[in-house]
Chain A
């Protein structure tokens, strides 16, 4: 899938300026960038929710899963029902497995208002996994989770990705997440948003350790790019 020359403005304000990105099949593409630079807008364009002013999307995917920046759960449905909603054919057992993976096994009968922000977020992640899409968009999915949970969610994501064998676009502010997950890491700069740097990482995700020399180097490099902005 390729984005070519994407422009988007809201009123006078230009948000996206000539964005050219290719998202390879069966790879994880991480997107880093300052707050408000247009990352969510970019995902919305990929998902087809908003139309770009200019530019085209080549080889776009039909079945798109999306972990929105907000949880967007139905308030009158339980955790279990919310996850089931997007794929009615999924067996109850497979849904319970997903609930266990995101660590909500004690809350599957609860309603969104009875959950914490992080729990709601995990529910919306399980919902997206249940959809089994060709491409999965994730907008800061692990925000408001503690460090241990984050690391375990990153591991789960890698497992699920291997199983579903799909492509993932992962927006984050956490350099560690990008380093552990990305086959490709795209750094955006703000105002208006442009592609700053693209870093390819060849090491397979399963072998990556955050304290590995290569990963530490990559981390420093990304930090430098981000702080230069």
Chain B
């Protein structure tokens, strides 16, 4: 019975998604007809043709791969360090206050300034990773700190009474609590990270990347190409989010009931 409910929900989700996409395409078409200038708003058909051209071009696979690699590496580093420092900051007030100025500064520096600075410091291939990291680290860090603070104090008491050591308490209580707390923040951070990496690539111009491709289409005044790459980037963000969801479902096999 559970499975049929699940299937039904997936089906409904799919229907609504398809309807909204169709509505969006119709609006897009109308706007492009009204504006009637391909350089400003290319029509959906022309954009689709551009997507096909780009996907078939020899540089496509390499660009997507390089950009994905940067996004994933940056994300994993931010996730690892964010979890580590977030847990330290959540558990120990002193560490939280010591880290606070750093986090505040990282958060306050304008993304564009960060991109320019990292370009000065690092080679163009690596700079985008650092920019992505800098933007999403505070998000993950702060969510982990909040997650730790929201851990049920009664469960902490229970672990203490039963003489469960610090390491096991972190493994069995803190990490599972923050993981269920982090889910939302994680997919938002993954999508944001991809956007930031691409933006940094537009400026840093590594040899083969999505950002470089964006810049090339723009230089050629090929607006349809920019639109096409945007759609590809949206699709990739969707894939990343789905990947996080799959890991979540896999874990939910174990924790399903907890999150209901």
Are these two chains actual partners, yes or no? yes
Q: Known contacts A70-B154, A76-B255: does B260 contact A47 (CB below 8 Å)?
A: no
Tell me if A72 is interfacial: C-beta within 8 Å of chain B.
yes
Cross-chain contact of A72 among B158, B164, B254, B260 (Cβ < 8 A)? B158
Residues in chain A near residue B180, CB distance under 8 A: 76
Complex contact B172–A77 (CB within 8 A): yes
Contact with A along B137-181 (1 / 0, CB 8 A): 000000000000000001101101111100000001100100010
Residues of B within 8 A of A63 (CB): 163
Contacts of A112 in B (CB 8 A): 257
Minimum CB–CB distance from B21 to chain A (whole Å) comes to 36
User: Given A76-B255, A113-B258 in contact, is the A86-B162 Cβ separation under 8 Å?
Assistant: yes
Once the chains bind, are A85 and B164 in contact (CB under 8 Å)?
yes
Question: Is the beta-carbon distance between B258 and A76 smaller than 8 angstroms?
Answer: yes
Contact B160–A49 (Cβ < 8 Å): yes
Task: Give every chain B residue within 8 A of A65 (Cβ-Cβ).
Answer: 161-162
Q: Which of A49, A70, A77, A114 contacts B161 (CB 8 A)?
A: A49
Q: Which residues of A contact B162 (CB under 8 A)?
A: 65-66, 85-86, 131
B155 touches A74 (CB 8 A): yes
Are A76 and B164 CB-contacts (below 8 A) given A49-B157, A70-B154, A111-B257?
Answer: no
Give the contact-size bracket for chain A.
20 to 34
Say which size band chain B's interface belongs to: 10 to 19
User: In the complex, are the beta carbons of A114 and B257 less than 8 A apart?
Assistant: yes
Contacts of A114 in B (CB 8 A): 257
Interface: A19 (CB within 8 A):
no
Contact bitstring A102-117, B, C-beta under 8 A = 1, else 0: 0000000001111000
| In the bound complex, CA of A165 to CA of B256 (Å) | 39
A56-72 Cβ-contact flags toward B at 8 Å (1 or 0): 00000001111010101
Q: Which of chain B's residues has its CB closest to A124's CB?
A: B158
Residue of B160, B172, B256 near A74 (CB, 8 A) is: B172
> Nearest CB to that of B152 among chain A residues?
A72
A76-B158 in contact (CB<8A): no
A208 CB to nearest B CB, Å: 30
Residues in A whose Cβ lies below 8 Å from that of B154: 68, 70, 72
Contact B161 A111 (CB under 8 A): no
Q: Are B172 and A72 in contact (CB under 8 A)?
A: no
A36 sits at the interface (CB 8 A) = no
**Is B254 in contact with A76, judged by CB distance below 8 angstroms?**
yes
Q: How far is the CB of A10 from chain B (nearest CB, A)?
A: 16
B164 touches A66 (CB 8 A): no
Chain B: which residue is nearest A86 at the CB level?
Answer: B162
Q: Which chain A residues border B164 with CB–CB below 8 Å?
A: 85-86
State the Cβ distance, B156 to closest chain A Cβ, in Å.
Answer: 10
Further 10 A-B residue pairs, CB within 8 A, beyond A66-B158, A76-B255, A86-B162: A47-B161, A48-B161, A68-B158, A70-B154, A72-B154, A76-B258, A85-B162, A85-B172, A111-B258, A113-B257
Q: A residues bordering B, Cβ < 8 Å?
A: 47-49, 63-66, 68, 70, 72, 74-77, 85-86, 111-114, 131
8 A-B pairs in the complex with CB atoms less than 8 angstroms apart = A65-B161, A70-B154, A72-B157, A74-B155, A85-B172, A86-B162, A86-B164, A111-B257
